[in-house]
Structure 1
Amino acid sequence: MEGPYGSEWQEEEKVKRREMVDPEARYIFVHVVPNSNVDDMTTVLTEEDTSTSCQEDSSPLVGFVHYRFVSEEDVPVLYVYELQLEPRVQGKGLGKFLMELIELIAQKNCMGAVMLTVQKANLLAMNFYMSKLRYIISATSPSKANPMLEKSYEILCRTFDDDAKTIFEVQHSVHH
């Protein structure tokens, strides 16, 4: 993960480590089934929260999603903190499948949106979320909310209801 953060990584790593063990953290782990061909994408998804002990699984972990149910601008949202896939399983539809699963979890739990933060330097991730999955830059993202602040990331979103749409999608133009 160091790459996209550049010089900010030393501080960011500490933040990430704290986030990962937060009691609110939820995970979906992806394992390759033993004796399966990775190209067949025979994977096992296991959902756990941090209170569950991570037992040693015989099948190798090839990816995970770390998410939480949070409130942004008084709207309940599912916030994706991390989506990580090993290079050998990338480009096979697994990331798209996991994000569709995340959206389903969000809708089943009456969340107004799915939100996530992406480093601008991570062009593969930006392209994945914006072009492939049609996420948009949130009105709460620094580049929209305060363009004078040069930040290294964007906040992306997909909204599910009118309240969330109004807050996260609609740009309020300010007339002077």
Structure 2
Amino acid sequence: MEAKRLLSGKEKKIKRKEVLEKKKAIDEIIKKASSVKDHLVSFPPFCHYERNGLSVCLESGLGDQLAPPVKKYIQNLLKVNMEGPYGPEWQMEEKVKRREMVSPEAHYIFVRQSTNTTSNENLSTKSEETTYPGQTGDRNRLLETCTQRKGLGKFLMQLIELIARKNHMGAVMLTVQKANVLAMNFYTTKLRYVISNISPSRVDPLIGAEKSYEILCKTFDSEARAKLEEKQQDDG
């Protein structure tokens, strides 16, 4: 009996060590991926999108290196897009979101409308020379609602998934407001994302019912998929 207890304790110690080593390996993968300043370099075909009447170019950016006009613009855009869907939760969430948007870990892909100049000239334009909606000139402006229903969203999500795979990520995760039915259908129907096991509705249905959002994910490797399926079966 004593030997059995000792063996059990040894097994637990080994198991704990394996978990810690695995967590360390995952942290290293995430750290390495976050250190890449420009993920677009690995995917030249995705630097431009010319379909369905759209002609745009893509460029990378980092949260702690945003020019003041860009920072102000995207933070205003965040409020316009998210204040309604978040409802009463927005007052508490806004400060958190604003901090996250300008952190060193925040990576951006900016979509800018192409001009008559070559794409290379557009991509090399300095941020100080770039104008944004509402500013004089409107050159190389960031895009908004005029790009909807033209395939750009699917194109960008395909790029995100390619970046995740290249950097050895097991899944892509995102948050969608329940009130945004079009977005929810886009991710779950067209892109085949599913509700994650860490989404409030999966963790606790009662708490989930009070939350305004769901966390969706798409898994790439068998291990990540197995964990998701295991959790779904337990919930079922």
Please confirm whether the aligned pair reaches a TM-score higher than 0.5, indicating the same fold.
Answer: yes
In structure 2, the CA distance between the partners of 1:172 and 1:127, relative to structure 1 (3 Å rule), is: same
Deviations 1:58-102 (A, max 9, x none): 30111xxxxxxxxxxxxxxxxxxxxxxx11101100010000000
- Normalised to the residue count of structure 1, the TM-score between the two structures is 0.71
The structure 2 residue matched to 1:92, chosen from 150, 157, 160, is: 150
**Alpha-carbon distance in structure 2 between the residues aligned to 1:134 and 1:157:** 9
| SS of 1:117 mapped into structure 2 | strand
Q: Which residue of 2 aligns with 1:60?
A: 141
Q: How much has 1:27 moved relative to structure 2?
A: 0.7
Q: Which residue of 1 aligns with 2:92?
A: 11
Quote the sequence identity (%). 62
The amino acid that maps onto 2:172 is: V
Bigger shift: residues 163-172 or 150-159:
163-172
| SS of 2:176 mapped into structure 1 | strand
In structure 2, the CA distance between the partners of 1:115 and 1:35, relative to structure 1 (3 Å rule), is: same
In structure 2, the CA distance between the partners of 1:56 and 1:125, relative to structure 1 (3 Å rule), is: farther
CA contact (8 A) 2:85 2:212 kept: no
Structure number with bigger Rg: 2
**Alpha-carbon distance in structure 1 between the residues aligned to 2:219 and 2:185:** 19
CA contact (8 A) 1:32 1:61 kept: yes
The aligned runs of 1:106-125 (5 Å cut-off) are 106-125=164-183
**Alpha-carbon distance in structure 2 between the residues aligned to 1:29 and 1:17:** 17
The amino acid that maps onto 1:155 is: I
Gaps of 5+ in 1: 37-41, 47-52, 63-85
The aligned runs of 1:14-53 (5 Å cut-off) are 14-35=95-116
**Alpha-carbon distance in structure 1 between the residues aligned to 2:110 and 2:100:** 16
Q: How much has 1:145 moved relative to structure 2?
A: 1.9
| SS of 1:12 mapped into structure 2 | helix
CA contact (8 A) 1:29 1:45 kept: no
| SS of 2:104 mapped into structure 1 | coil
**Alpha-carbon distance in structure 2 between the residues aligned to 1:174 and 1:153:** 19
* Structure 2 residue 161 is matched with structure 1 residue 103: yes
Q: Which residue of 2 aligns with 1:167?
A: 227
CA contact (8 A) 1:137 1:154 kept: yes
Deviations 1:89-140 (A, max 9, x none): 0110001000000000000000000000111111111111111111111122
**Alpha-carbon distance in structure 1 between the residues aligned to 2:122 and 2:194:** 27
**Alpha-carbon distance in structure 2 between the residues aligned to 1:112 and 1:102:** 13
The alignment yields a C-alpha RMSD, in angstroms, of 2.5
Q: Which residue of 2 aligns with 1:126?
A: 184
Q: How much has 1:3 moved relative to structure 2?
A: 1.6
Gaps of 5+ in 2: 1-80, 131-138
Structure in which a larger fraction of residues adopt helix: 2
CA contact (8 A) 1:106 1:113 kept: yes
| SS of 1:148 mapped into structure 2 | helix
| SS of 1:5 mapped into structure 2 | helix
